[in-house]
Chains A and B, each alone.
Chain A
């Protein structure tokens, strides 16, 4: 299973534009300038969300510049509706920009996307992890590189079509879950730093629902209004990530044994990269009680399976922690709620900060299916307090 499948679920709601704050000194993006004097770069993927983001800001009178990142190219004109940033989508983004009469540029980020996102994705699977390339992409090409380019272009703001809210708190900008919990993408943005949050804006975070966004797209006359949502990882056709890894690392995907907790061989597999912690289906070892993937052992190439009870974990070790709360990452224990995968509702936990960006999260109740490589994101109510990458769990 790929976690980002859960990013887009059908939503309902009425179509209203995001509310515009009325404070006269600041425009709707919180900049003390007239909209016409505020240069805004919108990251346009060619999809409905970022297209509506651009249209809303154009309507509000901002100087909007559309930038589309060309992240990969399968060549051969392969049509992939519902995936972002390939040729079709660059074309769609350009059509929307044309419709809105805004300047639009395409940046070739293929080599850095390959190096920072795709290679990392393949290597993580080979290490027995379950990576989330969408977060890596946000962390690197979008909020580091594109943000730097937006600054170089003299833009005050980089706006994206993510469903997440940026609110001003007593100590500065805060990241919050989207108004529509079904659309919330905050899990995928946990690596956003405080410094990055400053110039970032997410105009759709306040939208009631995706259908409200589509209604706006209709009202703006955007051709992408009916375009299907992105369903998969953009560079993984048809959700077949195993095929992508086979292609990227043809010599690294090797067969091995499926064993039980005691080490007894139950069957064979075609490569640990085809499995993820907590997976039940497709093990090919039938009979008896339901078995789950409990552990992946890259060195011995073993897939260890066991009963559901063997998946229970209460202590989760994190690295690469990003803290969005005030001050430094709390060492003493910070009560919060955490999400250990994108589709999950936050659960109660206590966070203990460690050295060098590490942390330990102690769960109030055991969780089943905590997979290394996934993200653990911390919440305080609707506010995102940060998060980290899961190294392992006990």
Chain B
């Protein structure tokens, strides 16, 4: 087998060496950040340093950062703080947003996966805020960059609409750090979700950034850590790694044009090999590292398995924890038929990607297409 090729950065990115160093240093510290003694203070210092680093990444104040175990927890903390009936989310949101607000109203996205702002406005008008001062505030949740397609959402415009209708704006920005710049103020975000491991940090650390004055309802209760919004002893080493990863986000952004060039090359070669292949979100602003495209007639999971056997790691839209694959709700929301959506894979690049990776992917993808795509064209699947 050829050397392993990792092309699944949107699932998780390899740890940056400087992050590992910061984590190892933090692991050497004995002390509970909540303890009064100097051991505790040393651990506390690590957390507060990371809090400044995270805040600085998104243009927030350090005291606006609530550390969590990751993006899913941060999304649950954010969405769970609002009454489900008063929440509007885009149809392309991550499962952790959709799952955290089962009663939410879904705002459609267009064929490129971009939130339909007119529809958002209409939905907010149809459901005006209660006059009652005690009624809970409303929330609009729009992701900054889609995990499956890389499509960048119109967050600032959505925030303007939300605020005009008395709603707050939550932005799931998990896929954005190290790929595009994030500024909470210009996004107009009141709540923002971050995750360390998509940006070269460790798994198990994330944050909800809550603009001053915006409060959330804690899910985990106990010792009052994180200003009472998230009880439990902090994951000190992972948070240290998270902070270190934030400091490297600029390097990541500078690297995007290299990745985008390879991504575009990949898409051109896929198109040449399979003219019927459908490319998702290419007409919208996208992250430079992400590509989502179909192999006509060949199931996503078959592609993922075949590429894995060839030493190449990619993913199918919506993998759940058991490793099985469902049809992507994101691609369906973009108007793809079930057959098309279930033949798509996602390729996502990052800091360790090499030029030869694309060649290896194309070679394996072509071989599979010759074997399976031709067979399915000859005998259409039932």
Task: Specify whether A and B are partners.
Answer: yes
| A residues with CB within 8 A of B | 39, 65, 70, 87, 90, 103, 105-108, 148-149, 151-154
Chosen A-B contacts, 17 in total, with CB atoms closer than 8 Å, are A39-B309, A70-B322, A103-B308, A103-B309, A105-B305, A106-B323, A108-B324, A108-B326, A149-B305, A151-B372, A152-B298, A152-B302, A152-B306, A152-B368, A152-B371, A154-B306, A154-B368
* B375 proximal to A (CB < 8 A): yes
In the complex, chain B residues whose CB is within 8 Å of the CB of A152:
298, 302, 306, 368, 371-372, 375
* B190 proximal to A (CB < 8 A): no
* B325 proximal to A (CB < 8 A): yes
In the complex, chain B residues whose CB is within 8 Å of the CB of A153:
302, 305-306, 309
Closest chain A residue to B298, Cβ basis: A152
Q: How far is the CA of A153 from the CA of B299 in the complex (A)?
A: 11
Q: How far is the CA of A45 from the CA of B189 in the complex (A)?
A: 48
Q: How far is the CA of A154 from the CA of B368 in the complex (A)?
A: 8
Q: Is the CB of A154 within 8 A of B326?
A: no
In the complex, chain B residues whose CB is within 8 Å of the CB of A149:
299, 302, 305
Give the interface residue-count category, chain B: 10 to 19
* B267 proximal to A (CB < 8 A): no
Q: How far is the CA of A107 from the CA of B375 in the complex (A)?
A: 20
Q: How many A-B residue pairs have CB under 8 A?
A: 46
* A-contact 0/1 string along B306-336, CB 8 Å cutoff: 1011000000000000111110000000000
In the complex, chain A residues whose CB is within 8 Å of the CB of B324:
70, 106-108
In the complex, chain B residues whose CB is within 8 Å of the CB of A151:
371-372, 375
In the complex, chain A residues whose CB is within 8 Å of the CB of B305:
65, 103, 105, 149, 153
In the complex, chain A residues whose CB is within 8 Å of the CB of B322:
70, 87, 90, 106
| B residues with CB within 8 A of A | 298-299, 301-302, 305-306, 308-309, 322-326, 367-368, 371-372, 375
Q: Output the least CB separation between A63 and chain B (Å).
A: 9
Q: Output the least CB separation between A278 and chain B (Å).
A: 35
In the complex, chain B residues whose CB is within 8 Å of the CB of A90:
322
Q: Is the CB of B309 within 8 A of A154?
A: yes
Closest chain A residue to B302, Cβ basis: A152
Q: How far is the CA of A103 from the CA of B302 in the complex (A)?
A: 13
Q: How far is the CA of A65 from the CA of B305 in the complex (A)?
A: 10
In the complex, chain B residues whose CB is within 8 Å of the CB of A154:
306, 309, 367-368, 371
Closest chain A residue to B379, Cβ basis: A148
Q: Output the least CB separation between B330 and chain A (Å).
A: 17
In the complex, chain A residues whose CB is within 8 Å of the CB of B301:
105, 107-108
Q: Output the least CB separation between A12 and chain B (Å).
A: 37
Q: How far is the CA of A152 from the CA of B375 in the complex (A)?
A: 9
In the complex, chain A residues whose CB is within 8 Å of the CB of B308:
103
Closest chain A residue to B304, Cβ basis: A105
In the complex, chain A residues whose CB is within 8 Å of the CB of B326:
108
Closest 4 CB pairs of A and B: A152-B372, A108-B324, A106-B324, A152-B302
Seed contacts A70-B324, A108-B324, A149-B299; 19 additional CB < 8 Å A-B pairs: A39-B309, A65-B305, A70-B322, A87-B322, A103-B305, A103-B308, A107-B301, A107-B324, A107-B325, A108-B325, A148-B375, A151-B371, A151-B372, A152-B298, A152-B306, A152-B371, A152-B375, A154-B306, A154-B371
Closest chain B residue to A91, Cβ basis: B322
Closest chain A residue to B381, Cβ basis: A148
